[in-house]
Structure 1
Amino acid sequence: MVAQCQTKTNSGRLIAIGCNYEPWIALLEQSGWKTHCCYDLRTADSILEEYSPCICIVDLSNNDFSLNSISLRANKTKQVKWIAIIKKEQLQTDAICQFINNFCVDYFTVPIPSSQLLDTIGHQLGMLEIESSSWVEITSKHDMGLFGESKSIKQLRDMVRRVAATEVNVFLTGENGTGKELIAKSVHNLSKRKNVPFISVNCGSLAHDDKKMAFLRASSPSQEDEKSTFNGTILLDNVEELSKELQDELLAYLQTSSGDSLNDDSCCDVRIVASSSSDLESAVANGEFSKELYYRLNVFHIKVPTLRERGSDIFLLAEKFLAKFANEYSTMASSFSDDSKQLLLRYSWPGNVRELINQVKRAALLAEGNEVRAEHFDLPSKANLKQSLRNIKDEAEKDVLMAVLETHRGQVASAAKDLGVSRATMYRLLNKHNIVPDVRHYNNSYMQE
């Protein structure tokens, strides 16, 4: 059921699954909502995808739907406020209680208290409007780092939105070229510090003999003024390249409540985002990087996905970059030929988004007409085709396994049943992808949410 609220001040969307035309629906319509019932889950999927952010009311009182199917859909949606309708006796059912606890902002028992439901929906509509403003900012201003529709990039957007609202230090890891600096900028611009400076410092370029927190002094907007104050966000890029001396300086800063002890004449109110493309845990184990500093920086870890993990996002990004460069270089290139699309999707992209940008820039310059063809890219046309297709299939298979395990909280037997395979086959697939289901991990994840 889709409903659109068209009051004097608000507009919103309401999806209701499995609901009959009841008095509370009539009350919603009288208050300005248009209501339409939806019983088919495939239709609900398309509506949820098209109209998110939205509110979804699901009627579980008649047991018309598999709770696992509803849970799977609720787990995939990050901008949907779920409200459950149940019978009072269903509160004695653990699965129902877990669903409400994990996914719902509220629930109502039949018969529905219409006025209370209307108040709840109105409040959640207001919450959606507040949250949506943050998502608009993410997707419009910083989409080069967070643009895409793959599962991995949606999860990344969600983590960025959540951590940006806090003041904790963030640790970004990922291969070269994945866009870690763009993610750091998104964290900054979605935080309360968005109106103060964001400074990126390459730790490999810092002087190893500088004793006064070189990265803070180097990033100060007024280096000549010894009493200047820097309030902002600093990205410590390639943090693994900090010298031992600067590691000690940074640790000393993090161990104090302010930066005053580092320099009597300056004051810093800084949020630190650190990034690394190397295995910093191994560096800690080898004594090359301070263990205490590592744990101080790694308060909230974000692993930035590789481009090959993002599936069809590759082509979405390519289209976006092509439009940008065609405009920048005044070329006619506006689309990709079929062979160029196949080439983009099957290539493994070891250089990630940075490599894609360079390749699309080259193609935009070489294309003589409207269409970009495969020969305009400096990429192998047929090499590793079978391997690339196998990688795409394996990544998709792994994503499905992880999603189903998450839905079933790590329970292999129930996950296998949902997939329609035997437990033996399920374990074989888990071993193939090195997935070790940990029931405690999934339970803790749900409790934290």
Structure 2
Amino acid sequence: MVAVNDKKKNNGRLVAMGCTYEPWIALLEQAGWKTHCCYDLRTADAILEEYSPCVCIVDLSNNDFSLNSISQRANKTKQVKWIAIIKKEQLKVDSICQFINNFCVDFFSTPIPSSQLLDTAGHQLGMLEIESTSLSDVSQQCEIGLYGESKSIKHLRDMVKRVAITDVNVLLTGEQGVGKELIAKTIHNLSKRRNDDITVINCSALVEGDERISFLDPTQCASSGNIIKNGTVLLNGVEELSKSLQLKLLNYLQQPENEKLNEHDLFDVRIITSSSIDLELAVKNEAFNKELYYRLNVFHVVVPTLRERGADIILLAEYYLQQFAKEYNTLAMHYSEDAKQLLLRYNWPGNVRELINQVKRVSLLNDNNEVSLDHFDLPKKTNVRQSLRTIKDEAEKDVLVTMLEAHKGQVASAAKDLGVSRATMYRLLNKHNIIPDVRYCNGGYAAD
């Protein structure tokens, strides 16, 4: 452990993985950083958890660590900014470049420019402070809608934060049960309209003359307290709108802001729409207005399925188990390992909604502290309900790993052999969370 002068003001925390005590570490300590050198990956998880939020500088220049092990830690860490140290010639190594691209905010080649590294670390500390505030807001406003640490949910959190501060139209798509309504509420609660209401309207039940959508035609509005004048409206299942209501919605979206008023009121309503179908296909089949689709699809957010979120399934299951224990005063507080494996293997066609129902059921029916495999009303064999998509994905993943093995981790040559571009190869590797390692030796690939 690096000695730290306790009299100094701790401006930030830094973990140096694989780094010897070098001048740049001393410089950081002089600037008030609390630093910790770590050479053993077995203790890295505990250190990163203790120091988070922090900056982590990992030295890859000597190939002391398995890149897969570092990647797995970088993928699951919370509020950690990763910076890589490499040799200049390592920029020609595909796996190093992919690691930097996927997980690092910056990199430096040896010899280390100490002052520049200090500036970078200080800037990233500032970004962590901003993100901590922003993530806290997300958590307070609608925690469970964005709960998890998978790559897909992190990407979703980033998109929500970016679009919430704007007024652009948002289209949420995804399978039924993924939580589109929760995401819409999060966008509203993080926007400048947070002090107004968000109104959720199921389009399948919407009829002409419904006062909730009178703002679509302000000149015809009657003076009624039920008319929405401000805030956010979520149109759930927007594909269910009748042709006439599609035209009214299109007209509203086309109007300049200063025309969205009648004699007495200004109507300032943000529209968020959601759909569980392929709207582009609906447009091609002339079931949905083409111009309206393009107006709605200014910012498209695809909400990931539960099966795409990996270990988030366990995080969500544990979260809801704790919540139901409080709500129903039940005993069940944790899952057996067999139960966790079942949750991870199951395909979850009903997504988060199905998971909630399952957890509520086991919480109410279980008289013990632990939830076991038999408490779930789910198929115990993984191949009983495998979807065509699951089978295809598994086959695709197997082919990618096999080709990387054959080409000793060289992405470019593996892509050429498969007949795809290098960019496509990287997209497929990212899709399956496969990290190629040119130092591969039997089993040297990580795939979730």
Give the TM-score category using the shorter length.
Answer: 0.7 to 0.9
How do 1:44-443 and structure 2 match up within 5 A?
53-57=53-57, 76=75, 79-83=79-83, 114-115=114-115, 117-139=117-139, 141-209=141-209, 213-214=213-214, 224=224, 229-230=229-230, 232-258=231-257, 260-261=259-260, 263-337=262-336, 340-382=339-381, 385=383, 387-388=385-386, 395=393, 417-418=408-409, 423=414, 427=418, 438=424
Residue in 1 aligned with 2:444? none
Determine whether 1:29 maps to 2:25: no
Contact persistence 1:309–1:395 (CA under 8 A): no
Contact persistence 1:253–1:259 (CA under 8 A): no
Q: CA deviation at 1:9?
A: 7.0
Matched residues in 2 for 1:209 and 1:441: separation?
Answer: 48
Matched residues in 1 for 2:35 and 2:283: separation?
Answer: 58
Paired residue secondary structure (2:280): helix
Which range moved further: 12-21 or 270-279?
12-21
Matched residues in 1 for 2:192 and 2:310: separation?
Answer: 33
Contact persistence 2:201–2:236 (CA under 8 A): yes
Structure 2: which amino acid aligns with 1:147? Y
Structure 1: which amino acid aligns with 2:299? F
Q: CA deviation at 1:278?
A: 1.5
Describe the superposition over 1:180-199 as per-residue Cα deviations: whole angstroms up to 9, x where unpaired: 10111122223333333222
Q: CA deviation at 1:371?
A: 3.4
Matched residues in 1 for 2:193 and 2:405: separation?
Answer: 45
Q: CA deviation at 1:288?
A: 1.3
Q: CA deviation at 1:279?
A: 1.8
Structure 1: which amino acid aligns with 2:151? K
Q: CA deviation at 1:137?
A: 3.1
Matched residues in 2 for 1:144 and 1:15: separation?
Answer: 30
Matched residues in 2 for 1:399 and 1:7: separation?
Answer: 53
Matched residues in 2 for 1:214 and 1:8: separation?
Answer: 62
Paired residue secondary structure (1:143): helix
Structure 2: which amino acid aligns with 1:427? L
Contact persistence 2:334–2:369 (CA under 8 A): yes
Q: TM-score, normalised by structure 2?
A: 0.73
Q: CA deviation at 1:274?
A: 1.0
Paired residue secondary structure (1:287): coil
Percent identical pairs in the alignment equals: 58
Which range moved further: 108-117 or 11-20?
108-117
Q: CA deviation at 1:146?
A: 1.8
Matched residues in 1 for 2:341 and 2:106: separation?
Answer: 46
Q: CA deviation at 1:79?
A: 4.7
Alpha-carbon distance change, 334 to 58 in structure 1, aligned in 2, over 3 angstroms: closer
Contact persistence 1:178–1:304 (CA under 8 A): yes
Alpha-carbon distance change, 120 to 192 in structure 1, aligned in 2, over 3 angstroms: farther
Q: How many residues align?
A: 422
Q: CA deviation at 1:42?
A: 8.1
Matched residues in 2 for 1:362 and 1:91: separation?
Answer: 53
Matched residues in 1 for 2:3 and 2:259: separation?
Answer: 56
Matched residues in 1 for 2:422 and 2:224: separation?
Answer: 55
Contact persistence 1:2–1:14 (CA under 8 A): no
Q: CA deviation at 1:176?
A: 1.1
Matched residues in 1 for 2:247 and 2:263: separation?
Answer: 18
Matched residues in 2 for 1:366 and 1:100: separation?
Answer: 47
Residue in 1 aligned with 2:431? none
Matched residues in 2 for 1:91 and 1:423: separation?
Answer: 19
Contact persistence 2:171–2:296 (CA under 8 A): yes
Matched residues in 2 for 1:343 and 1:91: separation?
Answer: 41
Structure 2: which amino acid aligns with 1:126? G
Structure 1: which amino acid aligns with 2:192? K
Structure 1 unpaired stretches of 5+: 405-411, 443-449
Matched residues in 2 for 1:401 and 1:140: separation?
Answer: 43
Q: CA deviation at 1:179?
A: 0.7
Which range moved further: 412-421 or 204-213?
412-421
Matched residues in 1 for 2:122 and 2:324: separation?
Answer: 44
Q: CA deviation at 1:335?
A: 3.0
Q: CA deviation at 1:359?
A: 2.1
Paired residue secondary structure (2:172): strand
Matched residues in 2 for 1:59 and 1:357: separation?
Answer: 42
Structure 2 unpaired stretches of 5+: 429-448
Matched residues in 1 for 2:107 and 2:17: separation?
Answer: 14
Paired residue secondary structure (2:14): strand
| Relative contact order, higher structure (CA 8 A, sep 6+) | 2
* RMSD, aligned α-carbons: 4.9
Matched residues in 2 for 1:43 and 1:11: separation?
Answer: 24
Describe the superposition over 1:22-42 as per-residue Cα deviations: whole angstroms up to 9, x where unpaired: 323212212322334456788
Q: TM-score, normalised by structure 1?
A: 0.73
Describe the superposition over 1:382-425 as per-residue Cα deviations: whole angstroms up to 9, x where unpaired: 5x6455499778657767999x9xxxxxxx98996427998389
Alpha-carbon distance change, 399 to 154 in structure 1, aligned in 2, over 3 angstroms: farther
Contact persistence 1:16–1:56 (CA under 8 A): yes
Paired residue secondary structure (1:275): strand
Matched residues in 2 for 1:107 and 1:129: separation?
Answer: 21
Which range moved further: 6-15 or 289-298?
6-15
Matched residues in 2 for 1:129 and 1:400: separation?
Answer: 41
Contact persistence 1:145–1:182 (CA under 8 A): yes
Structure 1: which amino acid aligns with 2:186? S
Matched residues in 2 for 1:63 and 1:13: separation?
Answer: 24
Contact persistence 2:313–2:343 (CA under 8 A): yes
